[in-house]
Amino acid sequence: MCLAIFKPAGQDIPSEYLHNAAETNPDGAGIAYADGDKVHIDKGFFDGADTLIEMLKSLKDKPAIVHLRYSTQGSVDDTNCHPFKVGEWAFAHNGVISKMPYHKKYSDTYLYAKNIMSSRIKSNRDWPLLPKSSNKMAKEIGSSKLVFLRGNGDSIIVNEKKGEWVDGVWYSNDYYKPKTRDSWWNSDPTGASCGWGAEPFTTYSGGYGASVQPSQSRSFVNGEIQCHVCNTYLDDGDAANIIDGSVICGDCWDEISKEAHMAGWQDDAASYWRCYGE
């Protein structure tokens, strides 16, 4: 479900990382950068990582946000591409904001920008930097991540620890890594394990859904539990559903249910558990 990247001034994002991310997140890309005065946003790129790579060649000395989208709600178009402009700020999101209403045309992040963040920043241009703002946003977005950038270079990452820093650049998940397998393996608290197929979500004749298949394989990531859909690491107390050994965080489960108008999980002839829509 998307990849958000924060590149501080002076850092590079390897081109191969962007190509890897574009393969997994093909629904539009965008970039925001600060020139010391204003924040600039260019988005709506549907050529993989090519435009991003070309633009970044001239932006090494500037802080930037890069985003590659995997659509879970709203149209696949320029409007729903990240980053979004709110006042003096640009921001991008990775995950699902389940508290936002479902809208066929607009993404949850678009609605969050318009309905929530716009009024906050209008009332106080420094709102993202206020001491209590990060905690407030973290409660609203659950296990999702947000990254903000202002024209003067001010920046903040909400749920920063749920992503990872690599060579001076922050990635909201590991979609920048090459996918050398056709599934991702993780474990639930009981030690059982299963894998998702090549795509986190797959459309079946019965509707929008996802499939998992049990396996004896086990893989632990630093002793932590990871959502099979968005790859977010779960903390103690985070909501999660376990379907036949597959861990699905509360936010992704809400999104699957909302997108599919879920009729329920069924075991098909191939021993896959699939969530079928109406």
- Is a pLDDT exceeding 70 seen at residue 251? yes
pTM of structure: 0.69
Looking at per-residue confidence, does 242 or 100 come out higher? 100
- Tell me the domains of the chain and their CATH numbers: 3-171 (3.60.20.10), 184-276 (no CATH)
pLDDT digits over 205-231, tens only? 333 333 333 332 223 334 456 777 777
Lowest mean pLDDT among 120-124, 141-145, 183-187: 183-187
pLDDT at residue 73, rounded to an integer: 87
pLDDT at residue 34, rounded to an integer: 98
pLDDT at residue 24, rounded to an integer: 87
Looking at per-residue confidence, does 241 or 4 come out higher? 4
Q: In percent, how much of the chain has pLDDT > 70? A: 69
Kindly report the average pLDDT of the chain as a whole number: 78
Q: How sure is the predictor about 240, in pLDDT bands with cuts at 50, 70 and 90?
A: low
pLDDT digits over 26-75, tens only? 999 999 999 999 999 999 999 999 999 999 999 999 999 999 999 988 99
pLDDT at residue 238, rounded to an integer: 63
pLDDT at residue 227, rounded to an integer: 76
pLDDT at residue 241, rounded to an integer: 66
Q: How sure is the predictor about 249, in pLDDT bands with cuts at 50, 70 and 90?
A: confident
Question: What are the phi and psi torsion angles at 139 (to 5°)?
Answer: -70, -35
pLDDT digits over 97-114, tens only? 988 988 999 999 999 999
Q: In percent, how much of the chain has pLDDT > 90? A: 58
pLDDT at residue 242, rounded to an integer: 62
Lowest mean pLDDT among 21-30, 129-138, 243-252: 243-252
